Amino acid sequence: DVKVTQSSRYLVKRTGEKVFLECVQDMDHENMFWYRQDPGLGLRLIYFSYDVKMKEKGDIPEGYSVSREKKERFSLILESASTNQTSMYLCASGASYSGNTIYFGEGSWLTVV
């Protein structure tokens, strides 16, 4: 089975802290994604990557950056966490060919206090 693993299920961080959310996939997928999910707003795409060291902004990239140094790992970085970044963060991965399946991790619940 495809596995997308997010490093932390629950985190509590202080305002202004630098936060790293890590995601690892074991299927040699080229594409990886970071979403956040908020009540009433649904899932919104933050960033995605289609290859090592390659990235593209999604719909809400402000306040976030990403890193893809290895194919299997995609990191989401909050340079200076703020309370409005309290959310559930979801990582996903998929192969590069059209019509492939995209798989999601279980999510990371981040609370910024």
Partner 1 sequence: DAKTTQPPSMDCAEGRAANLPCNHSTISGNEYVYWYRQIHSQGPQYIIHGLKNNETNEMASLIITEDRKSSTLILPHATLRDTAVYYCIVRVLSGNTGKLIFGQGTTLQVKP
Question: Least distance to partner 1 from the beta carbon of 86, Å?
Answer: 15
- Of residues 24, 25, 31, 110, which one binds partner 1 by CB under 8 A? 31
Q: Identify which of 59, 30, 32 has the alpha carbon closest to the alpha carbon of residue 21.
A: 32
30 is a site residue for partner 1 (CB under 8 A)? yes
Residues making contact with partner 1 (CB under 8 A):
4, 30-31, 33, 35, 42-45, 48, 50-51, 54, 56, 58, 88, 90, 92, 96, 98-99, 101-107
